[in-house]
């Protein structure tokens, strides 16, 4: 089995991954706790684009499942000498591995890998396409905070949707779980085709806060590294219209929580005080990411004992 995107998951598969992640989650509170669900299996983490959270949490997840974990990047490998990605993956396959986690700057590369290896392929983020494990950890964090049924939640993303794989995957996942999603952005930061996005669009963040305040605000970093032209007048202008400033935060209801995938641009997406508020769930998200990645690795390798899926361990 592969995990290439949230778009490929039916509701049973999405629910199964979240239940398995919830079952693994308590392990993270036990010092030196490990399970042997992937003993004798090898996981390759092939990260060809920068990452802190996803790369390290996949490594930790593999180790907590007792897998042998190989971390591989372009630096120091023969990719730097011009070897193709296909030849690299086939070379690693010749040595033998059971699952490969790929992060790449180009959309569709995880799908390509499925033609080059019989191992399970997991998308760790591909260009502007999908980031399925981020969406899963976001769902787990909301279930942990608001209860297992999040179908009544209103979730407002604020920021750059033209370049964000995080927003695309999370919108699909939240919507599949019954939540209502709103995208808040200037027209220049919206994708050209919004038909695959199960969300409404508004441009005025202040009107949303005052007239229809959401349960969750999820800020999406302006992805400057993926922009070929200026899409808003200035950073200061962006903050004035779309930053979660102290003043806007004070106008949100006390129930409202913040999600933030990271890396966070403080002072742009939100103020320092908002970032450090206990209502910002970004640290919970990072921790839940380890449990989610354990669930994903064990699931794609068909190695989750039945009692763990049901959460009865
Ligand atoms: N959220 C996320 O994907 O972070 P990294 O780029 O640090 O992995």
Task: Tell me the pLDDT tens digit for each residue of 163-209.
Answer: 899 999 999 999 999 999 999 999 999 999 999 999 999 999 999 99
User: What DSSP letter does each residue of 82-137 carry, written as one string?
Assistant: T--HHHHHHHHHHH--SEEEEEESSTTHHHHHTTT-SSEEEEEEETTTB-HHHHHH
Using most ligand atoms within 8 A of CB, pick from 127, 164, 261 the residue to mutate for ligand 1. Answer: 261
pLDDT of residue 163: 87
Using most ligand atoms within 8 A of CB, pick from 102, 127, 262, 265 the residue to mutate for ligand 1. Answer: 262
For residues 126 and 265, the answer to whether their CB atoms sit within 8 Å is no
Alpha helices in the chain (DSSP H): 11-24, 53-64, 85-95, 109-113, 132-146, 165-176, 205-211, 235-242, 246-251, 272-275, 282-300, 306-309
Distance 219 CA to ligand 1 centre (A): 14
Task: Tell me the pLDDT tens digit for each residue of 22-76.
Answer: 999 999 999 888 999 999 999 999 999 999 999 999 999 999 999 999 998 888 8
- Nearest ligand 1 atom to alpha carbon 50: 6
Task: Tell me the pLDDT tens digit for each residue of 106-136.
Answer: 999 999 999 999 999 999 999 999 999 999 9
Task: Tell me the pLDDT tens digit for each residue of 214-268.
Answer: 999 999 988 767 666 776 778 889 999 999 999 999 999 999 999 999 999 999 9
How much of the chain exceeds pLDDT 70, in percent?
96
Which residue has the least CA distance to atom 6 on ligand 1?
Answer: 51
82 phi-psi bin (left φ>0, alpha ψ -120 to 50, beta other): left
Using most ligand atoms within 8 A of CB, pick from 46, 54, 126, 293 the residue to mutate for ligand 1. Answer: 54
Which residue has the least CA distance to atom 5 on ligand 1?
Answer: 51
Give ligand 1 pocket residues (Cβ under 6 A). Answer: 51-55, 125, 131, 134, 261-263
């Amino acid at each position: 089995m592969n995990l290439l995107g949230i778009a490929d998951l039916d509701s049973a598969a999405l629910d199964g991954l979240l239940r398995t992640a919830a079952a693994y989650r308590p392990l993270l509170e036990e010092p030196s706790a490990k399970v042997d669900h992937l003993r004798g299996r090898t996981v390759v983490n092939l990260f060809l684009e920068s990452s802190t959270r996803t790369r390290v949490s996949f490594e930790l997840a593999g180790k907590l499942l007792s897998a042998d974990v190989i971390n591989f990047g372009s630096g120091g490998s023969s990719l730097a000498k011009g070897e193709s990605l296909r030849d690299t993956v086939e070379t690693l396959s010749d040595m033998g591995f059971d699952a490969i986690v790929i992060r790449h700057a180009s959309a569709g590369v995880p799908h390509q890998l499925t033609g080059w290896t019989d191992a399970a392929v997991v998308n760790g983020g591909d260009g502007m396409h999908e980031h399925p494990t981020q969406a899963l950890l976001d769902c787990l964090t909301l279930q942990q905070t608001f209860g297992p049924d999040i179908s009544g939640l209103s979730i407002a993303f604020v920021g750059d949707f033209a370049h964000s794989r995080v927003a695309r995957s999370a919108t699909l996942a939240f919507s599949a779980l019954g939540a209502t999603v709103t995208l808040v952005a200037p027209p220049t930061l919206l994708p050209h085709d919004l038909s695959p996005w199960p969300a409404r669009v508004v441009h005025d963040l202040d009107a949303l806060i005052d007239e229809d305040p959401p349960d969750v605000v999820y800020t999406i970093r302006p992805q400057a590294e993926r922009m070929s032209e200026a899409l808003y007048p200035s950073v200061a202008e962006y903050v004035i219209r779309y930053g979660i400033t102290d003043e806007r935060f004070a106008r949100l209801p006390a129930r409202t929580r913040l999600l933030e995938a990271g890396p966070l641009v403080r002072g742009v997406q939100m103020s320092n005080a908002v970032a450090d508020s206990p209502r910002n769930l970004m640290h919970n998200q990072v921790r839940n990411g380890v449990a989610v990645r354990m669930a994903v690795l064990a699931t794609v390798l068909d190695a989750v004992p039945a009692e763990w899926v049901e959460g009865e361990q």
